[in-house]
A and B are shown apart, each in its own frame.
Chain A
Amino acid sequence: MTSLAKGEPAGDGQRQAGMPLLEVRGLTVNHGQLRALDGISLRVFPGEVYAMIGANGAGKSTLLRTIAGLHSPAEGSVLLDGADVTGLRPERRARAGIVMVPEGRRLFGSLTVQENLQAGASYARPGPWTIDRVYELFGWMRERRGQRTAQLSGGEQQSVAISRALVANPRLLLLDELSLGLAPVVVQRIYAMLPQILATGLTVLLVEQDVSQALRVATHIHCLLEGRTTLEGTPAGVTAAQVEAAYFGLASSGASPGGGAGPAGEGN
């Protein structure tokens, strides 16, 4: 298992100079007797698409849920724009700009599409995203806005779930397992929306089961295994072999000792 010094993700100089939008320091989370996350640290800078990858049970969703406030860490802290939000309840974090699209969509079943969006906008921050704008982004939605969400397809539900988060005008959008239960074509189409979302100034932290999908859309990737970080870097800066090793926890095969992206210029 390639180990990584906890702390600075490698990257280019611009990253190291600026202020991260999200910072996680030494996060340790327990589920009863099980240690789900062990001393995780990371930084996400504005405008990035930061992807968490790793096998089932690696702790990716737990990390996202902890950042969203649904789990309390045993140790460590979560900082938004430098401010410690570790003690904030989930709804306060949402109002502060950390909005999560939870695993499995979790739409409000007895509400229509429009009502789901209105619910999402209940505590919205000021910003460019409105229900109308979301209807423009997803062309089909306006016509079907009066329908109950159970009548939508999986991909459509996922779009509604994302929209519900968008209309809150988050600063940091957390996407938990978007691709779960969806056909690859549908997944691609949804991820194709990302650039338009990012263009409005959002930052995205996502969990993705499908590694190649993650590598396609991410600006940075972070691999977890059994609650620990095994790889950090940019898609361009890591080899397929390194990713595989980090994902499965194999003894390093050709990976550099520090893990992640080494000195600039190391390619695949």
Chain B
Amino acid sequence: MAWVNAIIQGILTGGLYALFACGLSLMFGVMKVVNLAHGDLAVIAGYIAIGIVFVTHMPVLWSFLIVVPVMAAVGYALQRTLIQAALNRSVLTTLLVMFGLSIVIENGLLQFFSANTRGIGVNLALVTDSINAGSQIQIAWLLIVIFAAAVAVLTGLQYFLSRSRYGRLIRAVADDPEAAQLAGADYRHVFGIAAAIAFGTVALAGIAYGMYSQLDPTAGTDTILLFAFAAVVIGGLGSLWGTLLGGIVLGIAQQVGAQLNISYETLAGYLVFLAVLVIRPQGLITTGNQS
């Protein structure tokens, strides 16, 4: 039964990882930007949530109502300025700039917040409670909520991209920015919108992670970025639902590894990732085009 529990845990953490991953996937699919600062931005969002709760005493669960729009605005601004400037130079420059940003953010957080870990909503019933569904099966409520949130976000994103006018524009610009210009679209603005959406999901990911685990300055890269990337690669570059599947596979691999030996958890996940890289580089789901 412990194994069943592991699998269930794995599936549910897959939702968290999918939440990590969809921002990364979106930015690469649309702007062809590999956001190495992705995880660190999630951590910042988490810290902002902590800060807001501390200052306003608002219910922790509603903090995302403020953090998400704030991060989305930051995303738009960052895309229109720094990232666009880097994109105008070259792919290499973009990568270097995003790496630089990641290091600056991480060390900035270290400088101002110290390496101590912080959690979000640690005293909330939601965070601490779980369902007992039989011997050895304990499912945290939080994970269920996060999984549901991930599904909701992915569904919303999918719907937005396929049905709405801006979603169509985003896909068009992703396919061919120049041709989109000829149709009257300012691709820099569309990139900005896509970045805003990506950063919004990153904010959710940061808050979710802060609740599920503990935030610390290095969590951005140690956990969030690398797990997000693993989920994207396992699930297939270019597929939103694929990142959910990838997250689930990653989650299951980790939990199964943890069953063998608690310290194997992260390693097991990476080994599965490397295996996928070898066996099927496109990931588990391949679509004909980029998302």
A99 contacts partner chain B, Cβ-Cβ < 8 Å: yes
Query: Distance in Å from the Cβ of A122 to the closest Cβ of chain B?
Result: 6
Say whether B182 contacts A94, CB under 8 Å.
yes
User: Which of the listed residues B172, B174, B176 has the most CB atoms from chain A within 10 Å of its own CB?
Assistant: B172
B186 contacts partner chain A, Cβ-Cβ < 8 Å: yes
Which residues, 144 to 161 on A, are CB-close (under 8 Å) to B? 148, 150
**Residues of chain A at interface, number, CB under 8 A:** 30
Say whether A110 contacts B168, CB under 8 Å.
no
- Count contacts between A and B, CB distance < 8 Å: 82
Q: Kindly list chain B residues whose C-beta atoms are within 8 Å of the C-beta of A100.
A: 182
Say whether B176 contacts A106, CB under 8 Å.
yes
B169 contacts partner chain A, Cβ-Cβ < 8 Å: yes
**B interface SS class:** helix
Say whether B175 contacts A164, CB under 8 Å.
no
A186 contacts partner chain B, Cβ-Cβ < 8 Å: no
Q: Kindly list chain A residues whose C-beta atoms are within 8 Å of the C-beta of B179.
A: 102, 106-108
Say whether B183 contacts A164, CB under 8 Å.
yes
Instruction: Select B178's contact among A70, A115, A122, A150, beta carbons within 8 Å.
Output: A70
Say whether B183 contacts A122, CB under 8 Å.
yes
User: Which of the listed residues B175, B180, B183 has the most CB atoms from chain A within 10 Å of its own CB?
Assistant: B183
Say whether A95 contacts B184, CB under 8 Å.
yes
Say whether B171 contacts A123, CB under 8 Å.
no
Closest to B29 in A: A110
**Residues of chain B at interface, number, CB under 8 A:** 21
Instruction: Select A108's contact among B165, B175, B181, beta carbons within 8 Å.
Output: B175
Q: Kindly list chain A residues whose C-beta atoms are within 8 Å of the C-beta of B181.
A: 69-70, 89-91, 94
Say whether B183 contacts A94, CB under 8 Å.
yes
Which residues, 161 to 208 on A, are CB-close (under 8 Å) to B? 164-165, 168
B34 contacts partner chain A, Cβ-Cβ < 8 Å: no
Interface code B153-195, partner A: CB below 8 Å = 1, 0 otherwise?
0000000000001001101101110111111111100000000
How far apart sit A7 and B289, CA to CA, in the bound complex (Å)?
Answer: 47
B282 contacts partner chain A, Cβ-Cβ < 8 Å: no
Given A106-B176, A168-B183, 7 extra CB contacts under 8 A: A89-B186, A91-B187, A99-B183, A106-B182, A108-B172, A110-B175, A122-B185
Q: Which residues does B use to contact A, with CB under 8 Å?
A: 165, 168-169, 171-172, 174-176, 178-187, 288-290
